[in-house]
Amino acid sequence: MKLNELDLNLLNTIADLKGVPSGALNIRKDGQAVIRHSSPNISITSLADKPGIKIEIKPGTRDETVHIPVILTKSGFQDLVYNTFIVGEDSEVTIIAGCGIHNDSHADSSHSGIHTIIVKKGARMKYVEKHYGEGSGLGKRILHPTTNITVEEGASAELELVQIRGVDDTHRVSTARVHAKGSLKLVERLMTHGEQRASSDIDVDIEGQNATAQIFSRSVARDDSAQVFKASLNGKTECMGHVECDAIIMDNARIQAMPALLAEDSNAVLTHEAAIGKIAGEQLIKLMSLGLSEPEAVQTILDGFLR
């Protein structure tokens, strides 16, 4: 299947793709893989028993990137996919995922991605997932991602989860298990507007000695939108963990932040911070004194906050 201009614009927005890259790649459009190729060190194969793919990175792989974006352009389409990632021992890899929905219909379009990630001993993985919606129709653009990740001994994983704009309804579920001397960093960034709804439910178990986990959320809620952020950090042994939630609230929006800590060992060190507030007036005044209009000043502040 040939990619048209609409497809390419969606791919550029969610995965920074301006064409078809070299290396391992799987582009899924309206429930079907339209482009797929593996590399010598990264294999992509179809799951035998359900829709989705298995991505396997060979042990010792260095400085490689795999792209697995999903786009929906068929109005009213309901997509469900299961993806399994196995990052081999002592490897270093970047995974670029994400989903873009274009909906010009009165019917809802949705994508649910169920991701299982295993980062093997000593491996290093960065996972980037961007969500975006557009279209003139009254039908909703719905995204419900689920990520289950295991970080094995001495491995590290960084997850960057971004909601750009245009997503009417999303419920993100993330669970993680971090083993001895492993590290996890999970960063969420999102903006909601209109009557959009967004919720995040994060549950991290730090199971191994001297492991670390960090959860960061930055969000902006505008108009009549609503957000709920839940993050539970469970220290089961000697470990360190931190949860941080910062949000800007505007107009008639609502934000609820609920960080939770559970220590099951006297040597577990767990901390959290949560702050919700409006844009400071002095920030606006300073930027407007430099020649920006008030809307330009607001947008500059929001862009910097979500960066």
pLDDT in tens, 30-86: 999 999 999 999 999 999 999 999 999 999 999 999 999 999 999 899 999 999 999
Predicted confidence at residue 1, as pLDDT, reads 57
Which one is predicted more confidently, 303 or 117?
Answer: 117
Let me know: does 13 contact 130? Beta carbons within 8 Å: yes
Question: Amino acid identity, residue 222?
Answer: R
Given pLDDT bands bounded at 50, 70 and 90, which one contains residue 304? confident
Interatomic CA distance for residues 225 and 165, integer angstroms: 12
Residue with tokens 């010009």: 104
- pLDDT surpasses 60 at 224: yes
Predicted confidence at residue 303, as pLDDT, reads 83
Closest-CA residue to 117 (of 55, 59, 67, 65)? 55
Q: C-alpha 108: how far from its chain's center?
A: 22
Average pLDDT over residues 155-172: 95
Cα maximum dimension of the chain = 61
Interatomic CA distance for residues 238 and 183, integer angstroms: 13
Q: What is the DSSP annotation of 49-104?
A: SSSEEEEEEPTT--SEEEE--EEE-STT-EEEEEEEEEE-TT-EEEEE--EEEE--
Interatomic CA distance for residues 230 and 174, integer angstroms: 10
State percent of the chain over pLDDT 90.
83
Tokens in use for 54?
């298995």
Helix boundaries (H) for the chain: 5-15, 281-289, 294-306
Phi-psi region of 260 (alpha: psi -120 to 50; beta: other; left: phi over 0): beta
Question: With the CA atoms of 70, 147, 162 and 36 taken in that order, what torsion angle do they form, in degrees rounded to the nearest 10?
Answer: -20
Predicted confidence at residue 233, as pLDDT, reads 96
Average pLDDT over residues 136-155: 95
